[in-house]
A and B are shown apart, each in its own frame.
Chain A
Amino acid sequence: MADNLLDKASILLTPTAYDNGSMLSIKPENGDGDFDFERNSAATRVNAQGLVENVQIISPELVSNGNFSQIGTEEVLNGNFSQEGSELVTNGDFSVDSNWNKGTGWSISGGKASCDGSQTSNSLFFQNIGSLANKTVKFSFTLSNYVSGQINTAFFSASGTTSYVASANGDYTFYIDVASGHNGNTGFTANSDFIGSIDNVSIKEVAQNWTLGSGWSVDQDNSKAICDGTQTSTSTLQSARISNIQNDLVKLSFEIKDYSAGAVSVTLEGTGGIEFNNLAANGVYEINVASTDSLPRLLFNANSSFETLGWGLLKATVIKSINIPARKNRIFDHMNGSTLPTIILLVE
């Protein structure tokens, strides 16, 4: 029907279609009639029921992370394996003659603990630092005035714990997985020939928040976990339980360096699957997943031949995504009345 008001109108505007800062005209259709506006405060309007109500301005984006590009805080504790615990040794610098149990030949003097070789069999030198059963520690000390024999690190009653040897002057640092049964007594065993002094004895827990299966160890100084290939079946590096990520989208990432042999599979519990199956190459691996578990763990399952040559790095991280429904504050919410305010401009 020609010549009706709709045809005649040059500009026709209703608050139906809008962008941030503008209402869009129905006519003209090319945008020339759009109505731009700015407000720096809230406003009021009359709603369909004839009531005045407050409305908010169309503001800059009010939704945080609406495009999900932002990542949240780190959820894996000690994910780079760099964390170390407090000093467990008392009087490790031998400033006083106390705290240590001295076997035959041992004495503390001049800021050192010395063994004079008067022992005729293995002689123990230790103190009780509390049980470290099934934990990983960084054990360091300085050997000086070395003459003969050897000393071994010792974790009493922890059968199966590797005993490291020192038989020359120097600074020593060993990462030791302490076996079950450790009664807390920790120190050195001097063999019958040992003559020398030790100083700066330090023992600190590392690999906190992780459980290390056979073959796995942690090099805290270099922020890495290592799998040496000595495991005879699947062996797991397992994180502590992770809270506050249930049903949230999380970014799981880690890096494998200096790959040597075998394969490792990676799983975040509660996702319903294996996130990475039989990885057998260096690389940075990332995936976005969600776990239905309330307290899932991150598992690195090394097969019997997985090995990273002592320079391997598994740097694990789970980063939580902030998941907010994307919605923008709008002026015209709830404007569902039967009559729309309409602007009509006629040009005769």
Chain B
Amino acid sequence: MANEIYPVSWWGNPVQNGWGGIYYDFAYPSAIPSLLTTLQARASYYENVTCTTATLTELENIE
């Protein structure tokens, strides 16, 4: 519609390390930050965040 900014962007169907890869993270936002934020909020102790993020990232990359 004229004079209206699109409320949602369509990033296509990019491939992570291929066609449209620079749009990949926009098209498929990671669930990891939200999961870890919730986890930290209810934990008395939280550590080893680097390895945890790495492990979750690996899982997120497995179809």
Bind each other: yes
A residues engaging B (CB < 8 A)?
A: 1-7, 9, 12, 14-20, 24, 26-27, 29, 31, 328, 330, 332, 335-340, 342, 344
Of the candidates A5, A15, A16, A340, the one whose C-beta lies within 8 Å of that of B60 is A5
Q: Choose one: B28, B42, B56; the contact of A1 (CB below 8 Å).
A: B28
Instruction: Give per-residue flags for B15-48: 1 if the beta carbon is below 8 A from chain A beta carbons, else 0.
Output: 0100000000000100110011011101111111
Contact partner of B28 (CB less than 8 A), chosen from A2, A12, A18, is A2
Complex: A7 Cα to B30 Cα, angstroms: 10
Instruction: Name the residue on A nearest B49 (C-beta).
Output: A16
B59 within 8 A of A: yes
Interface residues on B, range: 20 to 34
Of B32, B44, B52, which one neighbours A14 at CB under 8 angstroms?
B52
Q: Is the CB of B55 within 8 A of A342?
A: yes
Q: Name the residue on B nearest A2 (C-beta).
A: B28
Chain A residues with Cβ under 8 A from B16's Cβ? Answer: 1
- Report which of B32, B36, B62 forms a contact with A5, defined as CB distance below 8 A: B62
Q: Which residues of A contact B38 (CB under 8 A)?
A: 29
Give B40's nearest chain A residue, CB to CB.
Answer: A17
* Minimal beta-carbon separation of B40 from chain A (angstroms): 7
9 tightest A-B contacts by CB? Answer: A17-B43, A1-B28, A5-B62, A6-B60, A6-B59, A5-B59, A16-B52, A19-B44, A29-B38
Q: List 11 A-B contacts (CB under 8 A).
A: A1-B63, A4-B61, A5-B63, A15-B48, A17-B39, A17-B46, A24-B42, A24-B43, A26-B52, A332-B47, A342-B55
